[in-house]
Homo-oligomer: A and B are copies of this chain.
Amino acid sequence: MKLTIYTVAQEAGVSIATVSKVINNTGRISEKTRQKVLKTMERLNYHPSTVASALTGKGTKNIGLLVPDVANPFFAEITRSIEDYSNSLDYGVMICSTDNKSERERKYVSLLLRQKIDGIILASNFQNEELIQELLDKKVPIVLLAQEVPSMSIASVTIDDFKGGSIAMQHLLSLGHRNIGIITENNRSGKKRLHAYRQMLEEYGVEVDESYIMKCEASISDGAYYGEKLLRHPSRPTAIFACNDMIALGVMTAARNAGISIPDELSVIGFDNTIMSTVTVPLLTTVSQPIREMGRKTVQLLMEDIEKGDAFKQSILYSPELVVRQSTALQKQ
């Protein structure tokens, strides 16, 4: 026999309306009745059905999280932080890996919409801006994480990519490097980091060599491929700014294969400070983002939107920090 609000009402000798009221802390009920109802709910181990509740318009207590790939350590960590905070608020999170493919994004958004999730977190590099607009039109609460879409008014939580790029370059430049290659993703974050690359180079009065600039996906294999290219460059760079740790790992592999020693002959700096950067040899110098804090903040913004329907969209910008380890060194001579 199924356990519904009716069962509780009957057992407690009240009406379902009363039970509903104590569940939701709405209306006025005597303390005595409230306790009685609470007790029976406890005794019966009753939990209201989110589904039924959702049908009346109260939200599903479920949010969707779109990331390029959960299997990518950076996004896995983001996922974990979002999951933790959502859970503490009694929200479930549906994980959706898009592979940065417009088609997958579309399919997942459609699924989420049918499931009537209460809100969506878009983490990094969403391809399909019309889709975002659609969501906006449908009043679906959205928060962008590690991504911005300048042309739209959406709440977002990001780090300062330009600053991150500057910090990385500053580190390399102050170490005496002048021939610096860069391998970056071709998305907004990547472009900002690239912009910082150019800017800092200019500041140090070194001309930028376009053939030092490589664009690719955030994978070890791509990093290795383009890293090798760079290492074969007629005027081989003495340092490489890999715009995320996965790419940096690829570069390290390429260097090893080419018998080039890090950091003696080549300095490498990554970005993200994922767990991967703590296990390489040598340990990877990188730029860190406060992932847990960012995940938490993202959920918080989303909840404000969900619960209060915030009209004012805030953009939160965190500062990245340099984490010096062993993969970068003074340029000799």
**Contact residues of A with B, CB < 8 Å?**
47-52, 54-55, 60-62, 64, 69-73, 76-77, 79-80, 83-84, 87, 90, 92-97, 107-108, 110-116, 220, 249, 252-253, 256, 275-276, 278-281
Contact for A114 among B48, B70, B97, B281, CB less than 8 A: B48
CB of A76 within 8 A of CB of B70, answer yes
CB of B114 within 8 A of CB of A220, answer no
CA A122 – CA B280 in complex, angstroms? 32
Known A83-B97, A95-B95, A107-B87; contact A60-B51, beta-carbon cutoff 8 A: yes
Residues of B close to A60: CB separation below 8 A: 51, 115
Task: Report the minimal beta-carbon distance from A317 to chain B, rounded to whole angstroms.
Answer: 24
CA A61 – CA B115 in complex, angstroms? 8
Per DSSP, are chain A's interface residues mostly helix, strand or loop, or mixed?
helix
CA A92 – CA B114 in complex, angstroms? 11
9 smallest beta-carbon distances between A and B, as pairs:
A281-B281, A76-B76, A71-B80, A92-B94, A95-B95, A47-B114, A51-B54, A50-B114, A51-B116
Query: Which B residue sits closest to A249, measured CB to CB?
Result: B279
CA A280 – CA B51 in complex, angstroms? 47
CA A77 – CA B71 in complex, angstroms? 5
Residues of B close to A79: CB separation below 8 A: 70-71, 76, 95
Query: Which B residue sits closest to A62, measured CB to CB?
Result: B115
Residues of B close to A108: CB separation below 8 A: 87
Residues of B close to A94: CB separation below 8 A: 62, 92-95
Contact for A92 among B52, B87, B112, B220, CB less than 8 A: B112
Known A111-B92, A115-B92; contact A80-B51, beta-carbon cutoff 8 A: no
CA A110 – CA B50 in complex, angstroms? 11
CB of A87 within 8 A of CB of B80, answer no
Residues of B close to A70: CB separation below 8 A: 70, 76, 79-80, 83, 95
Task: Report the minimal beta-carbon distance from A277 to chain B, rounded to whole angstroms.
Answer: 10
CB of A110 within 8 A of CB of B55, answer no
CA A49 – CA B76 in complex, angstroms? 30
Query: Which B residue sits closest to A245, measured CB to CB?
Result: B279
Query: Which B residue sits closest to A291, measured CB to CB?
Result: B71
